[in-house]
Structure 1
Amino acid sequence: MIRMIKGQIYFTSKYPNIIIPEKPIPHLILKHIRSKPDQVLLVDGLTFKEYSSHFVADTIEKVACGLNKLNIKKGDVLGVILPNLPEYVPIFHGTLLMGGITSLVNPDYTIEELSHTLATVSPRYLAVTLAVYEKIKNDLKRVFPSVEKVILVDIAGQTLKEIGQLTLSSDGIVMSFNQLINNNGKDYPIVRIDLKKDTAIIPFSSGTTGLFKGVCLSHHNLVSNTHQTQTVETTNYKKNDTVMGQLPFFHIYGLMTYLILMVKQGHCVVILPKFEFVRFLDLIQKYKVAISFIVPPIAIMFAKSPIVDKFDLSSLRTLFSGAAPLSREVEDLIKERFKGKLIIKQGYGATELSPACFVIPSGLIKSGSAGILLPNQLVKIISPETGENLGMGEKGEICIKGPNVMLGYYNNEKATNEVIDKDGFFKTGDIGYVDEDGYYFIVDRSKELIKCKGFQVPPAELEALLLSHPKVADACVVGLSKGDMGEVPRGFVVIKQNESLTEKELLDWAHPKIANYKHFRGGIFFIPAIPKSATGKLLRKNLKDINPPKL
C-alpha cells in the first residue's frame, strides 16, 4: 500500500497495525507456557529425550536463580558459545529474566574470531561445551579478561564425567549447567526492564559490509518482531504441529524462530546440534514434522538429492527458506518433486531488523518473492544514484522503519549512523522492488557481503586476515558462485616485493584461523595489483569474473 508523506512515496503493510505487548521477552514466554497444559516442547534429536513445556519454564527460573547466586547484575553479558541444545532455551531466557544480556556466537569460531566478536562485548559469564572450553581455556584470561564464571553444558550425556572432574579440579572459574540449576527456582528478584532502551541480546552481523559488529536488540525489538511475524506466519499452524530445529540458534533466524516464536506458540521443536541431512530427514519421518525452517542449500537438497526418496516425508507441509535468496527454479523443482503437496516459501530480514520484515503468507505464494511487509513497518525504496524515493515496480535500495529496528551497533555510533538514517530507516544495502500486490522481490544482494550456506562472510574480515601475513602486501576477497553453497570466498593477493609465497602455504596458514564456512573454497590468486577507485575503495566487481593462472 502506498502512502505519501511530504510528497515522498512510502509503502505500508497490507496488514493492519497490531498492538505490541509491553512485556520483557522472558515474561512473555513464561506467561504463555504457564497458561497452557504441560506438553512436549523440546526434543533432543540425538538422544530422543523429551522436555515438557512446564519443565522448560521451571528450568528458565532455575537458571535465573543460579545466575542470581553468581551475583549477575542488570546489563551483564552472558556469552553463549553453544551448538543447538535443549539447554540453550533456559540459558537464553533465564539470563534475560535477570536483566542480563545474551550474546551468541558460532561454536566453531576460532579463538581469533571470538576475540573479534564475543570478546568485544566483555562478557562476565560464558556458557560453553567441553569442546569449546578445551579450545579457549589457554587463552581465556587473555581474550576474555572480564569472565568470572564458565558454565559447561553437556551434549547428549557424552561429557558429564569430564565436566564433573573439571569442576572439582579447576580454580573455581568452571561450573556445570547442572550445578547452576541446582536450586528451587524461586529465589530471584524481579528486575525492572526499560523495554525500549535496555539491550536484551547482542548477536553479530557485518551489516552490508565491514567486520562483524554486535547488534543491540531490545526487549521491545524482540517482542515486536515475534508478534509481527506470527501475524503472518503461524496463523495457519495446527495445534500439535512439530518443527525441525536444525538452524543455528546463534543466528538471528534460528534464534527468533526456535528460542522465541515456537516456544511462545507451544510448538514442539526437534533439536539438532549440527545439520546432517540423513539424520534431519530421519527425524522428520520419526516425529512427523510438519514445518521446517531452512536455508537455500537445504532447499537444493530437497529439490535434487536422491536420499529424499528413502524417507516418508508425508507429514511435511511447509518449507520456509530464509537467510539468503532462493531461486524460483529451485522452488519449482521442490513443488514438482512433491507434486504440489509441499509449500515452499521465503522470508527476508536482517539481524538489525530482529530479523523479519517480509514473509510469504501461506496460501498466497508468489514464486521468487521475499514476501509481504509485516505489520507496523514502513518501507521506502531509494535510488542508489539520486537518493530519491522510488515508486512501485522501480528497483532501488530497500529501507525499513519499525519497532523491530535495532538500537544500534555495540559501542559503534559511526557504523550505526551509516545504516540508520535521520528518519529512523534501516538501510538494508539490498536492491529490490515491490509489485502491485505488495510482494517484495530482492534482485541484487548487497554488493560485498558473501553469503555461504546462509552465513554472512564479510570480505573485509578475510582481507584483514590475509593482510596480516608477513609476505602479503595487499589483498581483496570476493564471492564466487558455487552451486549448493551459494557463494564461497575467493582471495586475490599481492605478494610483497622480493618475497615468494604459494597458494598452499597461504591456505595452510589462513584456514586454521577461521571457521570452516569461511575457507577460501574459491582459491587464492596472486596478481600484480588490486584494482581500486580514485578514493582508494576496493573495486571488487572488477575481480568477480577473473580467473588468472595460479603461480
Structure 2
Amino acid sequence: MIFKSKLPEINIPNIDIPQYCINEGKRRHAQNPNSSDFAICDGPSGKKLTIYDIESQSKQLASGFANKYGFGKEKDGFVVAVFSPNMVYYPVVVFGILMAGGIATLANPTYTARELAFQLKDSSSQFVVTQKAFLETTIEAIKISGQEIPHDRIILVDVDQTEVGGGPVHIERVYCDIPIVPYTIGTEKEASERVAILPYSSGTTGLPKGVMLTHKNIVTCAEANNTINYSDGYYEGKYPSRFMGVLPFYHIYGFTIVLLIGIASASGIVVVPKFEISNFLSLIEKYRVTFAHLVPPIIVHLLNSKDSDKYDLSSLKHIMTGAAPLGDDVLSQFKKMYKGIYLIVAYGMTETSPTVTSRPKNHPSNGSVGLLINATEAKVVDEDGNELGYNQVGELCFRGPNVMKGYLNNPKATSESIDSDGFMHTGDIGFVDNDENFHVVDRKKELIKFKGFQVAPAELESLLLTHDDVADSAVIGIYNDEQATEFPKAYITLASNHDGLSPEKKIELALKIKEWLDNDVAPHKRLRGGIEILDVIPKSASGKILRRNLREIETLRKTTKTQPKL
C-alpha cells in the first residue's frame, strides 16, 4: 500500500532557493516585532549579517562571477565547490552562486587532498571557496584532480580578510557593484529540473556520488519543515528565535534544516565552526539560542558534560536530532536531565533533501521517527519489491518533490535507487504502525554512520588493498555505546611474505597499517573501531564479503566481553 502524509496539504512555490529564503526571511522579520537583529552571526568573532546584507552581498557576488570572471547566465551551470567549515559568508556564497546561474557542490572540509580531488573532478568544479587554513589541501587537490582552476578562482571566506598572496582572493574583493539581473525561476518545469545543490553521498552502497538536488527539491523540504515548525510553535517565546549553527552546512541536514530554514524563518543563526562542549554552551548563553539542531553524539556530550550547570541555558527550548538513530535510553536520560527542553526527532537522507518524517515535540515517544512530512508519500517493500501494509517490516521508500533528480553522471546508480514509480529506496529497514508512525529498525545498506556522516566500506576496503602488506580487506561498522555512534573497523589478511609472523609482530604491523590509512582519509573515516588480522575474509561463493558473519562475531564478543586475538 501507499502511505500518504496525514499533515495538511501545502503549496510549494515554483521558485529558486535565494528568492524563497530571502523573500520569506524579510517577510517573517517584518511581521515579528521580536525578530533577531541578525540573520547570521559568527559566534566566536561576533561578525553579523542581516537578511538585507545577505541579499545585497549575494547579488554583488553574482555580479562578480559574471563581470570579473565571465560566468553567469550565458554560461549557466558552472560549478563552485564550497570547501569550508561553517562561516558567516556561507549563505552569501551559495545564494551568489545560484543567482549567477551556477551550482554549489558542498565538500567536507576534513577531506584530504585526494578525497577533495575526486569531488572536484567528478563535479567539474571551476571555482573553490575555502579558508586560509585549507589552502594547502585545496591547491594539492586541484593539482591531483586535473581541473583547470587558476589560483585567482580560489575564493577565501575567512572573517579575517588579510591577503595571502599568490592568487587566492577574499570574497569581498570578488564583489562587484555592476547591476545584474539575478537568475530566477518561475515555472514548475524549471524548478523541478534545474540542479542547484550538489552534495556528495554514498547512497545505499558504493563510493561517493553527486546528489543532484533541484531548486524544487530544496524549497519543498524547507517549506514542509517550516510549516511544521510554525504549527508546533518553535519560533514563539520570550527570546527572539535563534538557531545554533553547529551542524556542518556542507551536510544536507545542516544546510537545509539549519541554514536555509533559519534564514527563511528570520531566525538568527549563530555559526559554530567547530564543536567543543564548553564553547557550545557559552554561545547558547551569550546569544540566547532558542533552537539547537544536533546529532546523537552531541546529545551524549550534553548528558555527560559536568559544565552544563555553569551556563544559563534557559533560552533553549527545542532540540532537533537527526542524521543517525537516537536510542530510547539516551532519549529518556535527556528528558530527565533537561526537563524544559523539547526533543524533536526527524529522519531522512541526502537524496530526499533531507527530511521525510518528523516527530513533533508533543508526539508520543514510541521509538518512531514520526509521521510523513507534507507532500511526501511512502511505501514499505519486501525483498521481492512487493508492497507491504501496516506493521510489516521491509525497506522504507519515499516519493515526492523533495526526492533528488538523480546521481550525477551515474544513471545506473540512479535507476538502482529510484524505482519506476519514483520512489527512493533508502536501504533502511522499518515499518509503519497503526497510527502511521514510521519506525527504523535496521539497515539493508552497508554504509557506516559515524556521528551522522556516511562512511562507505567499499572506499576504505579499496584503499587498504593499495597497501603492500594487505592481501584482502573488509570493513564494517561496530556500535560504540559511549559515543552513541558506529565506528569503522577493518579486517585484513596479510600479504604472503608475512606468513609465519609472530602475534606481536602482527599487532605492530596492523597498527602501522591503521595509522597509514587514518592519515589518508577524513577524520570521520578513520578506523576508530580498530583493525584486525584474519586468516581469511569470509566471502560467499560469488566472492561477496559476508559482513553479516563479521557483525555476528562482534556481537558475540560484546555479549561475552572477549577481545580479539591477533
TM-score range, shorter chain: over 0.9
Mean CA deviation greater in 34-43 or 480-489: 34-43
Counterpart of 1:394?
392
* 2:18 aligned with 1:26: yes
- Amino acid across the alignment from 1:67: F
Structure 1 residue identity aligned to 2:404: M
The SS at the match of 1:289 is coil
Does structure 2 conserve the Cα–Cα contact (< 8 Å) formed by 1:196 and 1:220? yes
Equivalent residue number for residue 560 of structure 2: none
Question: Which residue of structure 1 lines up, in the alignment, with residue 158 of structure 2?
Answer: 155
- Could you tell me which of 171, 190, 195 is aligned with 1:177? 171
How far apart, in 2, do the equivalents of 1:521 and 1:31 lie? 45
CA offsets 1:353-372 (integer angstroms, 9 cap, x no match): 01100011232242422111
Equivalent-residue separation in structure 2 for 1:29 and 1:260 (angstroms): 6
Shift of 1:521: 1.2
Distance in 2, Cα, partners of 1:53 & 1:364: 33
Match of 1:535 in 2: 542
Please name the residue that 1:6 is paired with. Answer: none
Aligned counterparts of 2:344 and 2:184: Cα–Cα separation in 1: 40
For residues 259-301 of structure 1, the C-alpha deviation after alignment (integer angstroms, 9 at most, x for no partner) is: 3111011100100011111111111111111110000001112
1:402-441, CA deviations, whole angstroms, 9 ceiling, x for partnerless residues? 0111000010011111111111100001011111222111
Q: Distance in 1 between matches of 2:164 and 2:87?
A: 22
1:200 equivalent in structure 2: 196
- 1:33-57, CA deviations, whole angstroms, 9 ceiling, x for partnerless residues? 4444494111111112222221111
1:15 pairs with 2:13: no
The alignment partner of 1:195 has SS state of helix
Q: Distance in 2 between matches of 1:66 and 1:527?
A: 57
Q: Which amino acid aligns with 1:515?
A: A
Give 3-state SS (helix, strand or coil) of 2:213's partner: strand
State the 1:29 CA deviation. 2.0
Does the CA-based 8 Å contact 2:185-2:191 persist in structure 1?
Answer: no
Q: Greater shift after overlay, 87-96 or 365-374?
A: 365-374
- 2:530 maps to what in 1? 523
Q: Which moved more, 1:68-77 or 1:414-423?
A: 68-77
- 1:30 and 1:315 map into 2 onto residues whose CA distance is 26
Q: Does structure 1 retain, via aligned residues, the 8 Å contact 2:285–2:312?
A: yes
Q: 3-state SS of the aligned residue for 1:513?
A: coil
Alignment root-mean-square deviation, CA: 1.8
Distance 1:103 1:23 in 2: 20
| Code of the aligned partner of 1:337 | M
Match of 1:414 in 2: 412
Deviation, 1:116, is 2.5
Give the length in aligned residue pairs. 531
Superposition pairs of residues 12-411 of structure 1, within 5 angstroms: 12-35=4-27, 36-37=29-30, 39-69=37-67, 70-72=69-71, 73-148=75-150, 149-157=152-160, 160-161=161-162, 164-166=163-165, 170=166, 172=167, 174-181=168-175, 183-184=176-177, 186-190=179-183, 194-235=190-231, 236-238=233-235, 240-339=240-339, 341-384=340-383, 386-411=384-409
What amino acid is the match of 1:155? D
Per-residue CA deviation, residues 492-521 of structure 1 (Å, 9 max, x unaligned), is 001121237611220222111101121111
Q: What is the CA distance between 1:465 and its match in structure 2?
A: 0.8
Instruction: Please report how far the alpha carbon of residue 189 of structure 1 lies from its aligned counterpart in structure 2 after TM superposition.
Output: 4.9
Alpha-carbon distance in 2 for matches of 1:282, 1:139: 36
Measured after TM superposition, the shift of residue 393 of structure 1 is: 1.2
Letter in 1 for 2:480: K
Preserved contact between residue 295 and residue 321 of structure 1 (Cα < 8 Å): yes
Listed one character per residue, the Cα deviations across residues 373-406 of structure 1 (whole Å, up to 9, x for unaligned) are 011111110113x432111111111000101110
1:5 aligns with: none
SS in 2 for 1:319: strand
Cα–Cα, structure 1 residues 107 and 293, in superposed 2: closer, same or farther, change >3 Å?
same
Partners of 2:444 and 2:275 lie apart in 1 by 27
Residue aligned with 2:308, SS: helix
- 1:146/1:365 CA distance change after superposition, 3 Å: farther
In structure 1, what residue type is equivalent to 2:430?
G
Distance in 2 of aligned mates of 1:211 and 1:262 = 31
C-alpha contact (below 8 Å) 1:105/1:118 kept by paired residues = no
Whether the 8 Å CA contact 1:64–1:188 is kept in 2: the answer is: no
Q: Which residue of 2 aligns with 1:3?
A: none
Q: Secondary structure at the match of 1:306?
A: coil
The Cα offsets for residues 302-336 of structure 1, whole Å up to 9 and x where unpaired, read as 23322222211111111100000101111111111
- Please tell me whether the aligned partners of residues 348 and 358 of structure 1 are also in contact (alpha carbons under 8 angstroms): yes
Q: CA deviation at 1:528?
A: 1.4
The alignment-based identity, stated in percent, is: 37
What secondary structure does 2:191 align onto? Answer: coil
Do the aligned residues in 2 keep the contact of 1:429 with 1:445 (CA within 8 Å)? yes
State how far apart, in whole Å, the 2-side matches of 1:431 and 1:527 are. 30
Query: In structure 2, which of residues 458, 466, 469 is the aligned counterpart of residue 468 of structure 1?
Result: 466
Unaligned runs of at least 5 residues, structure 1? 1-8
* Contact persistence 2:17–2:219 (CA under 8 A): yes
Shift in Å, 1:475: 0.4
Q: Shift of the alpha carbon at 1:156?
A: 3.7
Which TM-score applies when normalising by structure 1?
0.93
**Contact in 2 for aligned 1:61/1:185 (Cα 8 Å):** no
The 3 A distance-change label for structure 1 pair 497 and 549 is: same
**Alpha-carbon separation, structure 2, partners of 1:139 and 1:308:** 40
How far did 1:139 drift?
Answer: 4.6
- Report how far residue 106 of structure 1 moved: 0.7
Check whether the contact 2:224–2:373 (CA below 8 A) recurs between aligned residues.
yes
Structure 2: distance between partners of 1:525 and 1:485: 22
Q: Partners of 2:201 and 2:366 in 1: how far apart?
A: 28
Letter in 2 for 1:141: K
Amino acid at match of 2:44: L
The farther-off stretch of 360-369 and 399-408 is 360-369
Cα distance per residue 1:172-199 (max 9 Å; x no partner): 5x22212112x32623454567211111
* Maintained 8 Å contact 1:98/1:191: no
- Note if contact 1:104-1:118 (Cα within 8 Å) is conserved in structure 2: no
Q: Aligned-pair distance for 1:83?
A: 0.4
